[in-house]
């Protein structure tokens, strides 16, 4: 297949198509991780986005069913330098080409992803179109079509990735957590289940009253896609529960919780997406190498009069990577403690949340 990637600035990149024959729109973003492509493809936080991977060799260890972060591919389209058609790994079940094809997702290979990434860093993320076809692709009018497509800040993407109904996972634990699912990565749920914590995953549209009816010991607000201000119904729910039970927010959950307490958020130029983001814990001075995937951040100057204070910062650009409440049992981080980018040194955050819930129960 032929393929083209069209950006709103007029850039048109041609390459070889793989996956499904389709035409999709989305926000063009890049991820700097050297591995974990199937986790990225199935991460609900990428809903509404066309994902570019900066590492050139993609698909070389194939696809297996054990490392998904959700039940299906969530990206709108996929951009790589080299698409490996002959993966080599004992757990591999299929090629990345077949994986995308089965789920109707188009991909483009043969693209200079380094040049594309440099452009996105210089100019910021852009609206884009990815089209694959078995016939010659006419690009006339495609740039204008991209420019007329909706911006990611104009859409509520949470309702497309949240759970459809509550689902409880009982592992016989003494602690029970309600997970407010805004596009949850399965690694978050599994991190709690592995610690013998009972979990009830609930839709993002659930009311505060229904969450309290679960008699949970705490609430975890998950990651998710898009502009957090578009999920105003989630913000209202969190605001109603801020004094009712302990709250822990991850990534999108950090932004939503901060908004619920009166802070503000803003869109980053090209976001943080990768497994090598340095984050400093201001309480201890320790620096962690973290995995991240987000395009928005909390405005540190807006925290005044919210009861929140900055707990973590990004050492690359000094942006907020976590907040904590001065009095209430509320804490959040902008990065993913469950993602384990090599070491597991951020996993302790789940243990701290469990400890807070146990103390709150007493």
Q: Which residues pair with 130 in a beta bridge?
A: 5, 24
Q: Is the pLDDT of residue 343 over 90?
A: no
Question: Of the residues 176, 272, 312, 336, which is catalytic?
Answer: 336
CA distance to 13, 83, 111, 119, 143, per residue, from 137 (Å): 12, 21, 16, 24, 13
Please report, rounded to a whole number, the percentage of residues in the chain having pLDDT higher than 70.
99
- pLDDT value of position 161: 98
Class for domain 158-361, per CATH? alpha beta
Q: Is the pLDDT of residue 216 over 70?
A: yes
Q: Is the pLDDT of residue 305 over 80?
A: yes
Token output for 206: 């659930």
Q: Is the pLDDT of residue 280 over 70?
A: yes
pTM of the model: 0.96
Residue 251 annotated to the active site: yes
Report pLDDT digits (tens) over 160-209. 999 999 999 999 999 999 999 999 999 999 999 999 999 999 999 999 99
* 14 SS3 class: strand
Residue 321 annotated to the active site: no
Residue 338 annotated to the active site: yes
Angle between helices 252-260 and 232-241 (to 10 degrees): 60
- pLDDT value of position 341: 63
Q: Is the pLDDT of residue 349 over 80?
A: yes
Token output for 320: 């907020």
Q: How many CB atoms lie within 10 A of CB 98?
A: 15
Same fold: 2-149 with 158-361 = no
Q: How many CB atoms lie within 10 A of CB 355?
A: 12
Question: Of the residues 39, 76, 321, 338, which is catalytic?
Answer: 338
Q: For 132-142, what is the mean pLDDT?
A: 96
Alpha helices in 81-193 (DSSP H): 96-102, 113-123, 142-148, 158-161, 186-193
Q: How far apart are the first and last CA of the chain?
A: 62
Token output for 46: 């990428």
Q: For 132-141, what is the mean pLDDT?
A: 96
Answer yes or no: are the C-beta atoms of 201 and 184 closer than 8 Å.
yes
Q: Is the pLDDT of residue 339 over 90?
A: no
b/e map of 336-347 (b: 16 or more CB within 10 Å)?
A: bbbbbbeeeebe
Measured torsion, CA atoms of residues 232, 302, 181, 164, in degrees rounded to the nearest 10: 10
Q: Does domain 2-149 have CATH number 3.40.47.10?
A: no
Question: Of the residues 8, 69, 251, 312, which is catalytic?
Answer: 251
Q: Is the pLDDT of residue 316 over 90?
A: yes
Report pLDDT digits (tens) over 225-238. 999 999 999 999 99
Residue 345: pLDDT band (50, 70, 90) is confident
Report pLDDT digits (tens) over 43-93. 999 999 999 999 999 999 999 989 999 999 999 999 999 999 999 999 999
Sequence ranges of the domains in the chain: 2-149, 158-361
């Amino acid at each position: 297949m032929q393929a083209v990637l069209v950006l709103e600035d007029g850039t048109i990149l041609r390459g070889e198509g793989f996956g499904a024959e389709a035409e999709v729109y989305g926000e063009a973003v890049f991820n700097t991780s050297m591995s974990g492509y199937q986790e990225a493809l199935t991460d609900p936080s990428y809903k509404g986005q066309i994902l570019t991977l900066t590492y050139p060799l993609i698909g070389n260890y194939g696809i297996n069913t054990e490392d998904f972060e959700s039940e299906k591919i969530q990206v709108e389209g996929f951009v790589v330098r080299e698409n490996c058609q002959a993966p080599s790994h004992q757990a591999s079940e299929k090629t990345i080409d077949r994986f995308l094809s089965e789920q109707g997702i188009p991909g483009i290979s043969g693209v200079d992803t380094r040049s594309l990434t440099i452009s996105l860093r210089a100019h910021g993320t852009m609206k884009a179109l990815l089209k694959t076809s078995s016939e010659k692709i006419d690009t006339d009018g495609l740039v204008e079509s991209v420019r007329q497509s909706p911006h990611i800040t104009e859409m509520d993407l949470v309702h497309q990735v949240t759970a459809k109904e509550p689902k409880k996972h009982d592992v016989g634990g003494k602690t029970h957590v309600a997970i407010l699912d805004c596009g949850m990565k399965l690694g978050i749920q599994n991190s709690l289940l592995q610690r013998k914590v009972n979990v009830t995953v609930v839709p993002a549209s659930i009311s505060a009253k229904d969450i309290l009816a679960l008699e949970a010991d705490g609430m975890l607000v998950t990651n998710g896609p898009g502009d957090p201000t578009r999920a105003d119904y989630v913000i209202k729910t969190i605001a109603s529960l801020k004094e009712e039970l302990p709250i822990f927010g991850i990534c999108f959950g950090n932004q939503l919780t901060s908004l619920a307490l009166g802070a503000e958020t803003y869109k980053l130029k090209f976001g943080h997406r990768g497994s090598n983001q340095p984050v400093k814990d201001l309480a201890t001075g320790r620096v962690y190498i973290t995995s991240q995937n987000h395009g928005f951040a909390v405005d540190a100057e807006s925290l005044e009069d919210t009861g929140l204070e900055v707990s973590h910062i990004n050492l690359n650009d000094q942006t907020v990577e976590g907040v904590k409440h001065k009095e209430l049992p509320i804490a959040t981080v902008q990065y993913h403690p469950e993602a384990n980018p090599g070491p597991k040194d951020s996993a302790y955050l789940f243990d701290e949340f469990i400890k807070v819930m146990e103390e709150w129960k007493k």
